[in-house]
Structure 1
Amino acid sequence: MTRHGGQILVDQLKLRGVNRVFSVPGESFLAALDALHDAGIQNIVCRQEGGAAMMAEADGKLTGQPGILFVTRGPGATNAAAGLHVAHQDSTPMICFVGQIGRGDRDREAFQEVDFRAMFGTVVKWVAEIDDTARLPEYIDRAWRMALSGRPGPVVLSLPEDMLSAQADVPDRPARTLGTDADYSAFAAQAMELLAGAERPLVVIGGSAWSPQANRDIARFAEAANLPVAAAFRRQDYMDNRHSHYVGDLGVGMNPALGKELAAADVILALGTRLGDCVTAGYSLLDPATFDATLIHVHSDPDEPGHVYPPTLSLAAPAARVLEALTEAAAPHSGTDRLRDLRAGFEAWQTPRETPGDVKQEEVIRWLSANLPEDAIVTNGAGNYAAWLHRYFTFKRYSTQLAPTSGSMGYGFPAAIAAKLRHPDRDVVCMAGDGCFQMTLNELSTAAQHGAAVITVVINNGRYGTIRMHQERTYPGRPSGTDLANPDFAALARAYGGHGEAVVRSQDFPAAFERARASGLPAVIELMVDAEALTPGQTLTQARAMGEAKA
């Protein structure tokens, strides 16, 4: 059957079970928009490509299948780069379709012309431009498999508009199931032998391609092996934080005592994590030049073990699939007292420390942790406000934390929209700083249009708090470029047809949250926090004093 390229493309997506895409429309991919018209695939039309890309990335995280994005050439693709970078560093499967100039106009600097192979070459797993309409099924099949294979990640396919509108008679290429069966028993036996001789073992879980089953399996393994488990940066939902063997997270704002345990560990079982700079405090806790611990490294990318730290034993496999074999091979480790101490240290770390002001973020986060349903999804972007969430929120189930390990500002709100669309029956709460929220708050319109009733809690301290912290510690008393002139966020939410209100006292937050939830609308609760409340453990004045002492 002869079809135009847009129809061929969309038919391949349908064959792979795609039921939602995210886009900002452009004239460069009109044929794809035409095919989406009656395809039965929901097209979430966004307000800017950066927000759309972050929604597609979050959808990929939630489903484990490639998040699908359509953007136009030139500025559309460059705007989308932020979300593609998130997908790359977070190892999230994603496919971005980019409209492109006609094939006959290449290399003339035509309207919005960009060489996407050069532009995205170091940001995504694979980027290609499709010249032949008949080869669309081939390219899409390869893109789908590449987004999911090994270390998952983003793929970009460039679609010249004349190629996409041209007709071709080509059969569909059906989806193929990636092989999953393997015997990991020999590896598991070797790993447990190394762990048995350890004095200070530590399990670190992270990476992507986790699952609800893996969430249960890591608890079973930790119990069987009697080992402490720490989560990598923003992977805190990989294990129930209430479990006796969970000892905290390794990332920005980590418990210093847990960081010391990582540095002192003699055997590290790294499951899925790359042991990147956030996990290792900028490679200071584990110095690649002097690293001499026994490292057992399980990662889906065969090129990752040894990339930074030399492993004693490694396995190229999805960590979630190795857990069953590890559990079967497990024998209890003797370090019960150390495990108990690590757990006690985590619980003490979660005990709130009072911060200045009438709105105390530690009280807000602890209330949310205690009162949200266990399956509620909590999202955030980047900023010092996230340190309160990381420290004081107890994650109880898998797929309840959506946050960028790349530290991208503006991520939390579009991610929350994608989460609410994917799980309309679950509470979705976005935590955002005033600077972070303003990077993508135009997607309030998208939330209203598509009925995504997310609740956004905006921490308003009138500044880019993280940068101000670093300024005070490095150049005390010389703030530069970090003050913000903010809108009335609650009024802005109402202007978009949502619910909005401001909170000036912590004790007023619970009632405000319940009103937001009952509204059934996209809601914004603005928390007017004291600018002195810089981090959970340090005020602005203390940070400045630290900087002055260094000077």
Structure 2
Amino acid sequence: MLVATSDALPCMPVVIPEPGPSAGEIEALQGMLAQSVRPVMIVGGTRWQTDSARAIEAFAVANNVPVVAAFRFHDIIDNHCPAYAGDAGVGMNSYMKQLLRDADLIIAVNIRFGEATTDGYALFDAPRMTAQLIHSHASDDEIGKIYTADLPLHAGPNRMAAALAGLSAGQPDGRADWYDAARVAYLQSLLPPAQPGDVDMGVITAHIQAQLPDDAIITHGAGNFAIWANKFMQFGRDQRLLGPQSGSMGFGVPAALAAKAHDSSRFVLCFAGDGDFQMNGTELGTALQAGLHPVILILNNSSYGTIRMHQEREYPARVSGTEIVNPDYVALAGAYGFHGERVTRTDDFAAAYARALAAPAGAIIEIVIDTEAIAPRSTISDLRAAAG
């Protein structure tokens, strides 16, 4: 069938209808929310439309409901919205765990209760949470799959958002304080501690944030380096995050190329680790072939950092198979027609980044990080001390 002709008719586009909640179900939701002092809404999943995200924001602000992003769905809700309270995902911040544990009502919109969003299924009792649960999803297979919902709603995200638009419920005393405290805790979480070594990624990440265009696209692969994009950056209404749900290393580079292929006018920035980059770094050949020009940051700590972190937790000082001897990334960038930079001090990054942004054919910036800085809020010394 590689060369034979066929008289088969072309397929037509498949339109999947989106289910929606009934008026009675929304009335029940309104009644449950009116009784809640500590509600939390968790949003995630796909097929969101822009107007739907804005409707969720307006509903949350009007009703003093903190909104949490499910694992790597940071960009659905404008992170600058006063209702946004952060993300529930891998490396979950302690304030987020407490927020979800203390909630008396969880409104889960289009999310799957997976391992990452539930902190390894440790946050909530199963099959019934202590909090009341309202769970809506486009697929009825997801509702009740892990946790039994007090109000199950077979509804897609856009019809659910439309039903919530303009909805207002009474607010018990204490709700406003709960709402404000969630936002304050989130804003405080954006401030990382000083990092060991000559390069401080906290300072660099803040510089990047300040320079990002309003419609920038951020991509990343899998590893501790991704925490910088996931925990210390904010995504505005038109900014997007493309990250792997399954922990697949090497996702960031091809995701960046796909984003550029989709819309070459938008700025695309990829966060990669050294081990992560080498999983799919040869996709730069695709970039050269197709004229795709993202900016790629390689956070080089000469280590498979996440694996090393787990080694240090379980087998302190017994390092095995996680050290990496890296190539010359500046030379590699040049071989593929990219501009290349190597940064070894925090103060050198701003100028290198400016040159990268000005490069017409894309750029790679290798950022040399001390292996001691194994994660933004943890060092190898910390891990060894904790292990005794």
Same fold (TM over 0.5): yes
Contact 2:339 2:363 in 1 (8 A): yes
Aligned to 1:379: 219
Asked if the contact 2:19/2:138 (under 8 Å) is kept, the reply is no
Higher helix share: 1
Deviations 1:157-182 (A, max 9, x none): xxxxx3x5333323333335443485
Distance in 2, matches of 1:242 and 1:347, equals: 10
The counterpart of 1:475, out of the listed 315, 318, 340, is: 315
Structure 1 Cα separation of the partners of residues 48 and 315 of structure 2: 42
* Aligned residue among 372, 381, 385 for 1:541: 381
Residue equivalent to 2:60: 222
Counterpart contact for 1:203–1:269, Cα < 8 Å:
yes
Give the structure 2 partner of residue 242 of structure 1.
Answer: 80
Deviation at 1:267, TM superposition (A): 0.9
The answer to which of 314-323 and 486-495 deviates more is 314-323
In structure 2, distance between residues paired with 1:289 and 1:168: 52
**1:273 maps to amino acid:** I
Aligned: 1:350 with 2:185 = no
- Structure 2 equivalent of residue 405 of structure 1: 245
Whether the aligned pair in 2 keeps the contact of 1:211 and 1:398 (CA below 8 Å) is no
Query: Which aligned pairs between 1:67-216 and structure 2 lie closer than 5 A?
Result: 162=1, 164-180=2-18, 182=20, 184-216=22-54
Cα distance, 1:329 vs structure 2: 2.7
State the partner residue of 1:446.
286
Question: Partner of 1:495 in structure 2?
Answer: 335
1:398-437 alignment runs, 5 A limit = 398=238, 400-437=240-277
Query: Aligned pair 1:329/2:167, yes or no?
Result: yes
Query: Contact 1:225–1:327 (CA<8 Å) still a contact in 2?
Result: no
Aligned-partner SS, 1:199: coil
Q: Paired residue for 1:120?
A: none
Aligned to 2:134, which of 276, 296, 302? 296
2:181 matched to which residue of 1? 341
Report the residue type matching 1:503 in the other structure.
V
2: CA distance, partners of 1:527 / 1:336: 43
Equivalent in the alignment of 2:346: 506
Give runs of aligned pairs for residues 298-313 of structure 1, distance below 5 A.
298-313=136-151
Query: Deviations for 1:248-287, whole angstroms, at most 9, x for unmatched residues?
Result: 1111122211111112212100011112110111001113
Distance 1:176 1:487 in 2: 46
Map 1:8-87 to 2 at 5 A.
none
* CA distance in structure 2 between the aligned counterparts of 1:196 and 1:404, rounded to whole angstroms: 37
Give the superposition deviation at 1:358.
Answer: 1.5
The number of aligned residues is: 386
* Matches of 2:195 and 2:126, distance apart in 1: 37
CA contact (8 A) 2:42 2:106 kept: yes
Q: Is the 8 A contact 1:297 1:313 kept in 2?
A: yes
2:182 partner amino acid: L
| Contact 2:55–2:164, Cα closer than 8 Å, also in 1 | no
1:261 maps to: 99
SS at match of 2:318: coil
Q: How far, CA to CA, are the matches of 2:320 and 2:148 in structure 1?
A: 42
Normalising by structure 1, we get a TM-score of: 0.68
Tell me if structure 1 keeps the 8 A contact 2:41–2:66: yes
Cα pair 1:239 1:246 within 8 Å, conserved: yes
Deviation readout 1:309-343 (Å, 9 max, x if unpaired):
11111122212321121123322534001111111
C-alpha contact 2:20 2:156 (8 A) present in aligned 1: no
Distance 1:183 1:345, change over 3 A: closer
Structure 2 CA distance for partners of 1:194 and 1:305, relative to 1, 3 Å? same
1:58 match:
none
- Specify the code of the residue in structure 2 equivalent to 1:343: R
**Which residue of 2 is the match for residue 366 of structure 1?**
206
1:203-255 deviations in Å (ceiling 9; x for gaps): 00111112322221221111122211011111111111111111111111222
Contact 1:239 1:398 (8 Å CA) reproduced: no
Judging changes above 3 Å, is the alpha-carbon distance between structure 1 residues 289 and 316 closer, same or farther for their aligned structure 2 residues?
Answer: closer
Distance in 1 (alpha carbons) for counterparts of 2:307 and 2:15:
46
1:188 and 1:329 in contact (8 A); partners too: no
Distance (whole Å) between structure 2 residues aligned to residue 369 and residue 224 of structure 1: 28
Amino-acid identity (%): 42
Query: Contact 2:56 / 2:161 at 8 angstroms: preserved in 1?
Result: yes
Higher Cα Rg, which structure:
1
Change (3 A) 1:310 1:348: same
- Separation in 2, partners of 1:351, 1:320: 33
User: Alpha carbons of 1:173 and 1:492: their partners in 2 closer, same or farther (altered >3 Å)?
Assistant: closer
Deviation at 1:183, TM superposition (A): 5.8
Separation of aligned partners in 2, 1:170 and 1:473: 59
1:456–1:525 CA contact under 8 A, matched in 2: yes
> CA contact under 8 A between 1:263 and 1:285: conserved in structure 2?
yes
Give how far 1:480 is off.
1.1
Superposition CA RMSD, Å:
1.6
State the distance in 1 between where 2:287 and 2:97 align: 39
- Segments of structure 2 that go 5 or more residues without pairing to the other structure are none
* 2:115 is aligned with 1:280: no
Residues of 1 paired with 2:155 and 2:331: CA distance? 50
Kept in 1, the 8 Å contact 2:128–2:149? The answer is no
